[in-house]
Each structure stands twice: as C-alpha cells, then as structure tokens.
Amino acid sequence: MRSICFLVVLVLAGLSAAGALAQPALLYLHVDRGARTVKTAVAAANIAAELAPILAARLELSPDIRDARITLRLYPAQPGAIGVAADVIAQYRYLPALDQWAYVSCNLEAILRLTSSRVGHARIELTNPTWIAKRCSAPDGLAAALGDYGRQALTAMINAQLGQTPWSRPLREVLDGREAKQTTARLLGIDRIPDNATVLLGGCQVGGTIAICAEVRVPK
C-alpha cells in the first residue's frame, strides 16, 4: 500500500523525500515548517491500482473463488472520504462436489476514509457498512439455473468473503514506521507525529486529474 501510506503518513511514508517529486503519482506537495503542515495530492488512479489486488486477494481466500480480476475507480465522495467503485470478474465454483466453475461478475461500492482526524485514534480503512457487493450476476445458462434466489445467495457469499471492511490499518502503526519517521524529521524537523496531530483526507481534482488530497497538521 505504498501510495496510500504515502498519503496518510505525511504523504511520504514508504517513499524517500528526495525521490518523491519524481514519482508521477504525486501531483502536489507543499510543506510549511513554520506552521508544521504538509499538504499534498496523489493521483487517484495510483491508489486504485493498490486497492484492487487487496480486494482480489481477499476474495481468493475462499476455496470457491479464483482468478479474481478487478477494475477499480476512485472519485470524490462525502467530505473526509473517497468513493470506491469496482467491477469484479472471477471464477466461482458453483458445484463444489463436481468441481464445476463459471465466471461471475459483481459491482462493488465502498469508501476509503480515516475513522478520526486525530492521529492517536485514527484508522485508515476501506469500508461499506451496508456491504460492499451490490449486484452479482452469472452467464446466461448459470443465471437461469441460479434464479433470483441464487444470484442473491452469490452476492451474499461475496459480501461474506469481503466483509464490511476488507482492509483497515491503525494510522499510528503506519506513522511509527522507520521510513515515516525519517520523512517526518526531514520535512518537519520533528522526531514523531504526536497523537494530537490532525490528518485530513478527501477526494479532489488537480488540473484535470482526479486525486486524493491529504493534509497533516502538527500542533506547536
């Protein structure tokens, strides 16, 4: 999750500060040492490329799902969150006893958010409290065999596999990493981001590019 940690950890965790501006995903970076504030924007497509394999791996933990392929898009959502929409195609073992597989597809919806603006309490997570899989379907022959009940059961199985929050990590854990601390010292001249620092995360646009914007403020 290099780019996601990059955003949340002063937008540079997991990357060296010297090389950060050479990264095409980084659209904007502003450091104000006097105000102890970092503002940045990273291309949403870069974050999407890292979220997709997380979801695929979570699905493939099921013995009845394999070869999951995910096309994922990020977009501005409610304040403090980034909308996530995904199309999934995967092989589903609909008759385990006969080892019969067929490709199925699903539409997923979630948000990427911080659970708190305070570093000491915040987690960064991919979540949807009303479940992530919204509509699942199967090829014509299998769809006819499954019927409406079968399609609902397929959607429920995908939701059970993903859970309501398929990825979550404490922000404090990320910030205390070695590279995050090195970046903090380099950019802001302090050893550690305190628990009472604030972090803001949201969708934005930089030029014509959909982006994820982050701001870290460290109290003096």
- Within this chain, do residues 55 and 141 fall inside the same structural domain, yes or no? yes
- Within this chain, do residues 158 and 64 fall inside the same structural domain, yes or no? yes
- Within this chain, do residues 158 and 188 fall inside the same structural domain, yes or no? no
Place of tokens 């982006």: 211
- Within this chain, do residues 95 and 183 fall inside the same structural domain, yes or no? no
- Within this chain, do residues 37 and 67 fall inside the same structural domain, yes or no? no
Among residues 150, 167, 184, the one where a domain terminates is 167
pLDDT-derived band at 20 (thresholds 50, 70, 90) equals: very low
What percent of the chain stands above pLDDT 90?
Answer: 36
What is the number of structural domains in the chain? 2
On the question of pLDDT at 1 being above 60, the answer is: no
Give the pLDDT confidence of 93-146 residue by residue, as tens digits: 988 999 999 999 999 999 998 899 998 998 888 999 999 999 999 888 888 888
On the question of pLDDT at 217 being above 70, the answer is: yes
Looking from the CA of 73 toward its CB, the CA atoms found within 13 Å total: 8
- Within this chain, do residues 97 and 201 fall inside the same structural domain, yes or no? no
Query: What is the number of residues in the chain?
Result: 220
Strands, E assignment, 63-194: 65-76, 81-95, 100-114, 123-127, 133-137, 167-170
Separation CA 216–CA 41 (nearest Å): 12
- Within this chain, do residues 29 and 94 fall inside the same structural domain, yes or no? no
User: What pLDDT score does 150 carry?
Assistant: 85
On the question of pLDDT at 32 being above 80, the answer is: yes
> Which segment of 33-37, 55-59, 107-111 scores lowest on mean pLDDT?
33-37
- Within this chain, do residues 179 and 193 fall inside the same structural domain, yes or no? yes
35 touches 216 (CB < 8 A): no
- Within this chain, do residues 58 and 82 fall inside the same structural domain, yes or no? yes
- Within this chain, do residues 162 and 178 fall inside the same structural domain, yes or no? no
- Within this chain, do residues 102 and 177 fall inside the same structural domain, yes or no? no
Residue ranges making up the domain that contains 210: 2-44+169-217
- Within this chain, do residues 52 and 23 fall inside the same structural domain, yes or no? no
Separation CA 35–CA 40 (nearest Å): 15
